[in-house]
Chain A
Amino acid sequence: MKLRKVAVVGAGITKFVRRAQETAKELSYHATKMALDSCNMPLEEIDSVVHGTAPDAFDGVHMKGEYLSEASGGWRKPFMRSYVGGGTGVFAPINGWYLVASGMYDTCVVVCEEKMSSCQPHPQGAFLTIFDHTTERPLGPNLLWIFALEMNRYMQVHKIPREQIALVSVKNKRNALDHPSAQLGAELTVEDVMNSEIMAWPVTRLMVSPTSDGAAAVVLASEEVAKKITDNPVWISGVGWNLDTAYWTNRDLYYPEYVEKAARMAYKMAGIKNPREEINVVEPYDPFAYKELHHLEGLLLADKGQAPRITAEGITARDGKMPSCPSGGLLGVGNPIAAAGMMKICELFWQLRGEAGKRQVKNSPRTGLAQAWGDLMQVGTVVIMQRGD
């Protein structure tokens, strides 16, 4: 099949906050409007709309996609909702990409939104239903369990000290100080992270991203249209996604095979042979500190068990050879589920155009990768983006 080139030509984002005064519709509208305005695109020139948002249970509104359609610019347009749990924020742009790459449409706006705070007393309640209702839910699980179980397996198989994992929180929360959306930017030490309250060993409070309200959006265009809109398009050069089994107690959690499969699909499409040399900036999914490391390995950007070492060596620092989460990531900017993945796509857009201000990485990046992850530790979604020249 002959695929057309697809560019990101505009991006928009709201602040990420614990509880926003704005409704889900208002947040979606502001992110969408900012993305359209950033490339001077009137809504009439948008052919199609993709919306990404996580479970309806957060908002207590069934058919949430339809509910948010007009706030995403979808009024009387071809509209679709994408959803693969936490992986949604990078899956929605993949859906938008194929609407344009296939030749169906010349333009698409992709909007991701989450308002978790409506769910009381704590949005965690909406996560409990991901566990199997017969074999797991009677045990009274909470979402921290699966992260703690996976982190412990990863740490113990590779003999990784917790201090090295804490370093990810320090790096990302510091990076977030320069992000105008950020909810939890902070200057911390490894000791601060280690000494914060243990929630589910080996996870401490400062190794966990917050729950958030927020939205983010991008405008996609075919090559012909993109070149009329901007001299500085950022191409989507590769996409990949993959799902593993929901029987998560039957897999070795120390390594995310499905992320590797998604990455290999995207690298192949982008013609990338040596990812460690060719990916200049990366935004792996970091809802917990160890997840950034776990994902750098799954993305083949570090050997198995070696992501902590390259982090300690500063390779993933904002001024390093392969900056990771220069935005501040979910740990620092915040984690409005679907919007958090889209925030990473937006960050690559700004980084590859040299428009990230104080967050700008120093290696004048040509190619970047964003990745998200979710469900019962089973989905990997990957987008590779490339500066045009």
Chain B
Amino acid sequence: MLETGIRLHGTALEEEDFKTHRVFYTTDIPKLQYAWDCGVAMGHYLKGLKQGKLLGTYCKKCKRTVIPPRVFCELCFRNMDKWVELKDTGIVNTFSICYVTWDMKKLIYPEIPAVIEIDGASKGKGILHLLAEVDPKQVKLGMKVKAVWKPKSEREGSILDIKYFKPI
């Protein structure tokens, strides 16, 4: 039985409870740092980015070119067959216009994250990136976009070697 109005355990705390020291708490900032090896497939992908190229992998059994690339095909569970150089253009599969940071602070300039289906990959295969040089109100699904790269000297083998995608 769980009727409306029944009293349950669970005591909501308010700002006042902390100010008046009605309740106590302790704090800690755990010190954790990570260094992630990018692995075989992703290492090659990052090398491509440094050279200004988007690379995918191809499975001949499934006739599929995917990006981000991986060494194995999760469908037929075999090694991927080859690397494929893709274009640095694509279409917007979906997007958002985000007005807040992760901790819910207001952004002055909204960010436009998008899934971009990359030309040369199989239909629907895309990556997450940001859109810029566009009025947020003008962004549409299916819009054609192109990568805007950092200058060669500043590229370091990172997804951030692409600054953003812009409409073409």
Give me the interface of A with B, judged by CB distance under 8 Å: 11, 13-22, 26-27, 30-31, 34, 38, 60, 120-122, 124-125, 127-128, 132-136, 138-145, 148-150, 152-153, 156, 178-181, 197-203, 213-214, 245, 247, 249-253, 346-347, 350, 355-359
Q: Is the CB of B8 within 8 A of A142?
A: no
**In the complex, chain B residues whose CB is within 8 Å of the CB of A214:** 10
Q: Across the interface, name the chain A residue whose C-beta is closest to B124.
A: A252
Q: Is the CB of B12 within 8 A of A181?
A: no
Q: Across the interface, name the chain B residue whose C-beta is closest to A327.
A: B2
* Complex A-B: 28 CB contacts under 8 Å: A14-B10, A15-B12, A21-B12, A21-B23, A34-B9, A128-B102, A135-B42, A135-B127, A136-B128, A139-B130, A140-B111, A142-B100, A144-B96, A145-B128, A148-B96, A153-B94, A153-B115, A153-B141, A198-B97, A198-B99, A199-B99, A200-B100, A201-B136, A213-B10, A249-B115, A253-B94, A356-B2, A357-B5
B48 within 8 A of A: no
**In the complex, chain A residues whose CB is within 8 Å of the CB of B97:** 198, 200-201
Give me the interface of B with A, judged by CB distance under 8 Å: 1-13, 17, 23, 27-28, 30, 34, 36, 38, 42, 45-46, 66, 68, 70, 74, 93-104, 111, 113-115, 124-130, 136, 141, 158-160
**Complex Cα distance A178/B2, Å?**
10
Interface of B is mostly: loop
Q: Is the CB of A180 within 8 A of B5?
A: yes
**In the complex, chain B residues whose CB is within 8 Å of the CB of A136:** 128, 159
Residue of B2, B28, B93, B95 ringed by the most chain A CB atoms within 10 A: B2
Q: Is the CB of B102 within 8 A of A247?
A: no
**In the complex, chain A residues whose CB is within 8 Å of the CB of B12:** 15, 17-21
**Complex Cα distance A358/B5, Å?**
10
**Complex Cα distance A181/B98, Å?**
31
Q: Is the CB of A150 within 8 A of B98?
A: no
